[in-house]
Amino acid sequence: MSLAFLFPGQGSQAVGMGQDLIEAFASAREVFEEVDEALKQKLSTLMRDGPEDQLTLTENAQPALMAVSVAVMRALEREFGVAIDKAAFVAGHSLGEYSALAASGAISVSDTARLLKLRGQAMQRAVPVGQGAMASLIGPKTDLALAEEAAKAGAEVGVCVVANDNNQGNVVISGEKAAVDWAIEKAKELGARAIPLNVSAPFHCPLMQPAADEMAEALAEAAISAPRAPVVANVTARPTNDPEVIRGLLVEQVTGRVRWRESVQWMAGEGGVTRFAEAGAGKVLSGMVKRIAPDAEAVPLNGPADLEAFAKTL
């Protein structure tokens, strides 16, 4: 049985996430302490107590979600002897790619926390609030071709692109608000439902270029080594373990499309993965895997009981 570890992205955060891990495992507690120290911020207290609107801020949500994911993996290894290199591949959705790199030892937890804090701030700075928008196109008729057609119509008004190709029935568009609004109307004509997303900025579109420039500068200084398992990158949907390639892909990822459907299809097909384990908060990616690769097994690893049960099956 070939295994891949997956790491969730923004939207999976919730007040209280990771608390049962902290209470159960000293190894998980260490991760939260490392992140607090790196950021000179009591992020762990915000994660435990809220308020939710502060946790949801991009600059807080991104390092917080990474902390939970890495805590899961560290507890798996220390408490149950399941190392990340048991996996054939690792992959993360958007910011989850940073979690995958931290968990696989390519970037230190402290550096990852600082990079994600900056990434969140840079994305927020790139576009004034209210000028950008994102929308999720959903429904049985929704596929990449429909979303591309809707985005093309929006692009006649302003910047509008497909940002996240999540799975059949769930594709996200991003860009200038007027353009996204226009694309929403086109998508409805084509038979999709459209839900405007409550986000602070239009992620994964060309409007994020100022954020990509900031990240390029920060990543140029970051120490990156080969991950212990190849990382299937968002922008290529293919694996790599080359530190310099990873550095470049993380910059591209800020403005580039999250090719999640293709990533999972590749792992379940050519990659031979039959089991996906989602390490971190929530189970969004597990749901996506079931829609993309119905023959594969998908298990969310959220709390101590999940980790113990999972370890027993290996």
Asked if pLDDT for residue 260 goes beyond 80, the answer is yes
Alpha carbons 7 and 99: distance in angstroms, whole number: 6
Q: How many angstroms separate the CA atoms of 197 and 202, rounded?
A: 10
Mean pLDDT of 52-78: 96
DSSP letter string over 123-190? Answer: HHHHS-TTTEEEEEEESTT--HHHHHHHHHHHTTTS-EEEEEEEETTEEEEEEEHHHHHHHHHHHHHT
Reported as a single tens digit per residue, the pLDDT across 117-164 is: 999 999 999 999 889 999 999 999 999 999 999 999 999 999 999 999
Q: What is the pLDDT of residues 16-48, one digit of tens each?
A: 999 999 999 999 999 999 999 999 999 999 999
- Please state at what angle helix 58-80 crosses helix 109-126, rounded to 10 degrees: 160
Domain 132-199 in this protein, CATH class: alpha beta
Q: What pLDDT is recorded for position 34?
A: 98
pLDDT of residue 198: 84
pLDDT surpasses 90 at 205: yes
The span from the CA of 27 to the CA of 33, in Å, is 10
Provide CATH 3.40.366.10 ranges for the chain. 3-126+207-312
Local confidence band at 199 (pLDDT 50, 70, 90 cut-offs): confident
* Partners of 133 in beta bridges: 175
Say what the pLDDT of residue 129 is. 85
Tell me which DSSP letter residue 194 carries. E
Cα–Cα distance measured from residue 137 to residue 192, given in angstroms and rounded to the nearest whole number: 6
**Where exactly does CATH 3.30.70.250 map onto the chain?**
132-199
Residues catalogued as catalytic? 94, 204
pLDDT digits (tens, 9 = 90+) for 215-251: 999 999 999 999 999 999 999 999 999 999 999 999 9
**pLDDT for 95-117, tens place per residue?**
999 999 999 999 999 999 999 99
Residue 83: predicted pLDDT: 96
Residue 11: the pLDDT is 87
Give rounded-to-5 percent helix, strand, coil for the chain: 50, 15, 30
pLDDT (tens digit per residue) in 283-294 = 999 999 999 999
Instruction: Identify the CATH number of the domain defined by range 3-126+207-312.
Output: 3.40.366.10
